[in-house]
Amino acid sequence: MNLNYSDSSSPSTPTVSIVIPVHNGGERFRQCLASLEQFAKLAQEIIIVVDGGNDQSWQWAQESGAKVLRFPSAGGPARARNAGAKVATGDILFFVDADVTLHSDTLRQIINLFGNQPGLAALIGSYDDAPGEPNFLSQYKNLFHHYTHQQAHEEASTFWGACGAIRRHIFLEMGGFDERFRYPSVEDIELGYRLKQAGHWIQLCKTVQVKHLKRWEPVSLLKAEFFYRALPWSELLWRDRQFVNDLNLNTSSRVSLIIAYAILASFILAWWWPAALLFALVLSLLFLGINLSVYRFFQQKRGLGFAIQTIPWHWLYFLYGGLAFVSGTVRYHLLRIMGNTAHLPTIARL
C-alpha cells in the first residue's frame, strides 16, 4: 500500500494535512489505511502518529508511505494529534480516528468548504448510517450518533476529533488539544469550547461523513460512556458554562433525562405502593412520545424489531448520563469550595 498525495493546488485552494493517532489499531486501522489509499489523494500529506502500543500499527503506517511519528509509550490522542499538527505543512488539519474510513467525497467537501468560506475556522462531520460492526450494540450506538449529528444545528459549539478539520494557524494559536487528557475523552469538546469562546466559527457539515468501525460491547460501552465521556464532560460544562441547547444537550434530551429518572423512581416506589406502576406506565408513554422521532429513525434504518430493542438502551443512556452529570457537578463544586478552581475534568487526572 502506498499513499500518493496531490502536489498541486491553485492559490485559492487550501491544502490539507490528514492527522491520525493510532494505538494498537489492529485490523480497523488497516481498513482506515485502505480508505486513505483510495480516497485521500487530494491530501497534501498524511501524518500518522503511533502512540505506543505493541501491535503492527507502526509497520503498517510505514508501509503506507505516510509521514510517521512514533512515541514509545502511550500519552493519549491529544498529545499524538498535537505532534502531528506541529510537523504538518497543510493549511487545514483534518483529524481522523484510526477506526474510521473515509467516503469518496469526504476530503473534497472539506477542501471546498474551507476554500469557499474564508471565515470558517473549523468543521466537524458525522458517522454515516452504515456502521462497520454488525452486532446490535455497535449498530445502535453509531446510528444514534449519526442521528444526533444529523438533527443538530449547523453552527456547532464543539469540535470532534474523529472527523474534524481546522485551519492550522488557528489550531496552533489556540494551543491545540490539552495534553493533560491522557486517554480518549473530551479533549476535542474542550478545544471546541475554547474556539467558541475566542469567537471562531465552527460548522457542522452533515454531508461530511466517515464510517465507524469500532465494535461496542456492554462493558466497553458503559465504561467509555460514563467514565471517559459523560463524567468529564459534565465537569467541563460547569467549568466553561457551555449549556448549549444542541446535540446531546437539547431540550428533549434534558426532559427525557428527568422522565427517565421519574420512571425509575416509580418502579422502585411500586414495591411498597403498587399503584405507582400506573405512573410508570404514563411516564413511559410520555418518554416514548418525546423520543418518537429517534425510534422512527431506527425503524427506518433497521426495522421495527431493532427499534424496539433500542428503547431500554436509550432509557439507560439517560440514566447513566444523569448519574454522571450529578457526580461531575458535585465534584466540580467541591473542588471550587476547596479552592482548586483551575482543575480539569476527572479523566485528565487518571
Cα–Cα dist 192/239, whole Å:
14
Label residue 97 exposed, middle or buried (CB < 10 Å: 0-12, 13-18, 19+): buried
Asked if residue 10 has pLDDT above 70, the reply is: no
CB distance 148 to 156 below 8 Å: no
Cα–Cα dist 282/267, whole Å:
12
16-216, CATH topology level: Spore Coat Polysaccharide Biosynthesis Protein SpsA; Chain A (3.90.550)
pLDDT per position as a tens digit, 52-65: 999 999 999 999 99
Q: What's residue 7's pLDDT?
A: 44
13 versus 49: which is more confidently predicted?
Answer: 49
Residue type, 20: I
Reported as a pLDDT band with limits 50, 70 and 90, residue 1 is: low
Average pLDDT over residues 336-349: 60
Name the phi and psi angles at 169, rounded to 5. Answer: -65, -35
Rg of the chain, C-alpha, whole Å: 21
Indicate the average pLDDT of the chain.
89
Q: What's residue 339's pLDDT?
A: 67
Average pLDDT over residues 99-108: 96
Asked if residue 5 has pLDDT above 50, the reply is: no
User: What single-letter DSSP state applies at residue 166?
Assistant: E
Average pLDDT over residues 118-140: 96
pLDDT per position as a tens digit, 265-324: 998 998 888 888 898 899 999 999 999 999 999 999 999 999 999 999 999 999 998 888
Query: Taking the domains of the chain in order of start, what are their residue ranges?
Result: 16-216, 247-349
